[in-house]
Structure 1
């Protein structure tokens, strides 16, 4: 029973994928794959890291810029940290960018620039977790690993009419997905299920009438597909507050800080500022006639909203306060700042 279901489902999905596969700059299409063209593991890895908690539409331009500037894992490994973090700005979740560099350097230094081709070996690389290891192993190396992203979770919840809410139902959904993963063309199959979820088995108003696997779908038969997958309600995000201080001297040099490696925006340049809390400390980095700008910066992180007040003052000619950086005008690029710091710069510049 299981084998016939697996063969029927995978066969129907692969037939559909051969006709309707989405075109993406990091993907080798099914026709090229049949012709013997294999995916570049570097491009698969880079796309999967970028796509974590980010949409395909948002990633396309970033991916194109990254691969134009750093076409191989070796060139990325050799890139200065600030350049990579600057190109990443706007994608969010900056720990991914730090791990991107660590992983590129590990592949270059420890694996002679060649990505390992098994789930277990990939999992040992910095920044690669179970999902990314499975995706690279399946898509780049055609191994029958189970790739479980949000699209696949939704397809499995509906196909089996599973009402247990996410995230608690993830292990069950993964077991169901693993049972259907074929040994034939597993890389294309993994992408087919993701494409199905992205284009037909969508979160709202799924297009069941044109779904290639509608007949065995248990939720369609029960009429429950619009309600699945169920999710445990999220707690409201709290709001935190903070201050940032932007100082510039007569030559246009600006005062910045490099944030600690760990934590939000780790290792990135930003403006000196307070902690982010309910009652942030408003002590400036040096004594001066600080003026608070009208307006405020609002930004949303994964777990909280942030509201920043911006203060400005002339930067004294003497050396920078300890632990801070005076960056000359010609060396400062707003695009190298993380998004929330760039918002602060834009408000300061416009005021």
Structure 2
């Protein structure tokens, strides 16, 4: 880290002035620099959806959720299957289960009103330190230290932090905390996020348009994109499985609800073998004229998956749960939607 003592007040003033002019227009935000506070429900929902998900991908899901369930109490009253189906395609499905648990806690234990402090928010099920800080700052104007990947990158470059991530995270959080005060805490948090997302980008940062470039030690080095340093990730293990895609003569496909615990827990799915590093079971769930339909690839956080797709057309299979193919396609998680598309192409 370079030996710098930045003018905290001036950096804050410049960045907030920039944010007032260039803030992204997002469905869950209130206009910057105003006394209008956004709905805590919408802030919370957006923050949960944006974890490991890009803004363009999350936005239509946010709009769907807030249209179907305008308040946290509406969401709390929804059926699990409805919420899981609406979440399909966003990934990281434990978030959807936590979403329901938190909504029901707010509705049942807090009268449908979110706690207005970090401590109170952190006590809700499924709400971690980052989400609690973000909702406290943005929705309630609390001076909370909101540190996501964008903020880490800005701090790593601003101070030219040489320690690699993840080891550097405590230091990056400490540096971000230097800028926290009672003045516009929500706007400050969102200004840092916007700067990281649109200017201080992971690759090819736009230093020429950065409002705080004059104070950036990473820019002084001539290679700001080197920051933050990252340790090399281990290769993802490879797993294999078989997906069984059974159609009937009425344009329906056999589906199942996955067990509550485990990967994609509680989600709609297709019958599959175990996903294993060895050879998966080849035993089908139904007796039918199965044939090969190719393979699909999918990457999860901790492993990569190759699914061999088997498909058949057979009516009247006892024990099968049938669903219109188009409806199933919309409700299935991405990995199963890929398998369904592969099977559909093979049948056609």
Report the TM-score range of the alignment, normalised by the length of the smaller protein. over 0.9
SS of the residue 1:296 aligns to:
strand
The corresponding residue for 1:24 is 26
Partner of 2:341: 346
* Residues 6, 215 of structure 2: 8 Å contact kept: no
Match of 1:64 in 2: 63
Q: Is the partner of 1:204 in helix, strand or coil?
A: coil
Describe how 1:1-351 pairs up with structure 2 within 5 A. Answer: 5-31=7-33, 34=34, 36-251=35-250, 254-278=253-277, 279-286=279-286, 288-315=287-314, 317=316, 319-320=318-319, 325-327=320-322, 329=324, 333-351=328-346
- CA displacement at 1:3 relative to structure 2: 10
Q: Distance in 2 between matches of 1:206 and 1:350?
A: 42
Residue 221 of structure 1 and its aligned partner are, at CA, apart by 2.3
The alignment's TM-score, normalised by the length of structure 2, stands at 0.92
Deviation digits for residues 179-199 of structure 1, max 9, x if unmatched?
A: 111221111001111111111
Spell out, residue by residue over 1:264-302, the C-alpha distance to the aligned partner (whole angstroms, 9 max, x if none).
Answer: 11101211111111211112224x244222321221111
Separation in 1, partners of 2:220, 2:244: 60
Length, aligned pairs only: 342
Q: Which moved more, 1:242-251 or 1:297-306?
A: 242-251
**1:27 and 1:118, CA in 2 relative to 1: closer, same or farther beyond 3 A?**
same
Offset, 1:331 = 10
Residue aligned with 2:246, SS: strand
Instruction: Determine the C-alpha separation between the residues in 2 that align with 1:326 and 1:12.
Output: 59
- In structure 2, C-alpha distance between the alignment counterparts of 1:339 and 1:4, rounded to whole Å: 46
Q: Is contact 2:253–2:328 with CA below 8 Å preserved after alignment?
A: no
Question: 1:319–1:193: structure 2 CA closer, same or farther, 3 Å change rule?
Answer: same
Shift of 1:328: 5.2
Give the distance between the partners of 2:322 and 2:206, measured in 1 at CA.
Answer: 54
Structure 2 gaps of 5+ residues are none
1:299-344 deviation line (CA, Å, top 9, x unaligned): 1111222111122345563631xxxx52354995321111111111
Output one character per residue of 1:121-176: Cα deviation in whole Å (capped at 9) or x when no partner.
Answer: 11111211111111101111111111111110011001111010011111100000
Q: Measured at CA, do residues 202 and 170 of structure 1 come closer, stay the same or move farther in structure 2, by a change above 3 Å?
A: same
**CA 206–317 in structure 1, closer or farther in 2 if over 3 Å, else same:** closer
* In structure 2, C-alpha distance between the alignment counterparts of 1:330 and 1:223, rounded to whole Å: 54
Cα distance between partner residues in 2 of 1:221 and 1:174: 22
Of 153-162 and 68-77, deviating more is 68-77
CA distance in 2, matches of 1:326, 1:177: 52
Residue 103 of structure 1 aligns to a residue whose secondary structure is helix
SS in 1 for 2:241: strand
Cα 1:331–1:350 shift into 2, 3 Å = closer
In structure 1, list runs of 5 or more residues that go unmatched. Answer: none
Contact in 1 for aligned 2:89/2:332 (Cα 8 Å):
no
Q: 1:229 to 1:252 in 2, by over 3 A?
A: same
Distance 1:219 1:331 in 2: 50
Which string of whole-angstrom CA distances, capped at 9 and with x for unpartnered residues, describes residues 107-126 of structure 1?
Answer: 11111000101111111112
